[in-house]
Structure 1
Amino acid sequence: MIVVSLVCLAVAAVAPVLGLHPRIPAPLGATLTTAALGGAALAATATDPAHGFALGATLVLTAAAAITGGGPAVLAAFRIARRQPDAGPAPTPPPGPLRGGRVIGVLERGAVTASILGGWPEGIAVIMAVKGLARYPELREAQASEQFIIGTSTSVLWAVAVCGVGHALIT
């Protein structure tokens, strides 16, 4: 079952790249990523703790799935938020107010993953505090704070969920 979990984690790490292809709808990549993570979680419940090569592969694939899969999860959360009755008219996607969000999100998920897998979950608070302080001047703009909260929360929750699957495989 460890092999099934690792294959599912690998699919969860690679599937978000499918959403970047112009012929493949973006929601398909997000759906496949989520389904693969669910499969990895189910298979992880029936395995012994990983050791040796499987341990290393688990750590690498967990980090890759956490980092790559968060982007589609955040975009899906933004789509859901825009459909809410209190969301108002759908804003046009300007280059701001929160430029660099995708790169920052990748770095954020990588830091959260390293913090959790390194045994220091308190690091999540430090990461979020640093990000909030760095973005503070931009958060006064219209809809910036809502975008920040939805994006950051979804990104961190995705990374924590993937790390939970990885943790289930190594313990």
Structure 2
Amino acid sequence: MTALVSPDVRRWRQWTAMIEDFGGTDEMHGSGHWFLDGDPVPTQDGCVAFVAMTTQTAPGTPDGARVPSTYYWIAAGDGGADDELVGFLNFRHTLNDFLLDQGGHIGYGVRPSARRRGHAAAALRLALLDAPGLGIDRVLVTCDLDNAASRRTIEINGGELEDIRGDRRRYWIAIP
């Protein structure tokens, strides 16, 4: 089972274990984390700072633009307080030029020890449920050209390849 949960400092121990499992922010990039100010530091104070950034600011893009966004942590289980945190998901409510070209509406990342268990596909499916409430009828999701696991995750969720731009595959998912 997989659930999306709001970032919460009460989960700082699970969050710290997840950050350490990622082994660095390069592996976390799918969630859009890299456009927040500063890298997450795997401590209680680091969690407090990270949660504050994800709840008080919208994620930026390389051009410095910010868009409204909802951050989630991906939990293995039903979302209970003791569930293991296995990843990040960011649902961007609007697309600027960069996000339309490269980033998409939804980005996600699953920690290495929890991969190949269906968490990314389930998290994406759950996030798509937010689209109607945001007035979005088509969701753009992208992945690196060489990321076969993410490609499968997107396609399982109904992604239709529009094109490839540089090293990014761009998929649209229609929302019924």
Q: TM-score range by the shorter chain?
A: under 0.3
Q: Which has the larger radius of gyration?
A: 1
Structure having the larger proportion of residues in helix: 1
Between 1 and 2, higher relative CO (CA 8 Å, sep ≥ 6) is seen in 1
TM-score (norm 2): 0.23
Q: Which has the higher strand share?
A: 2
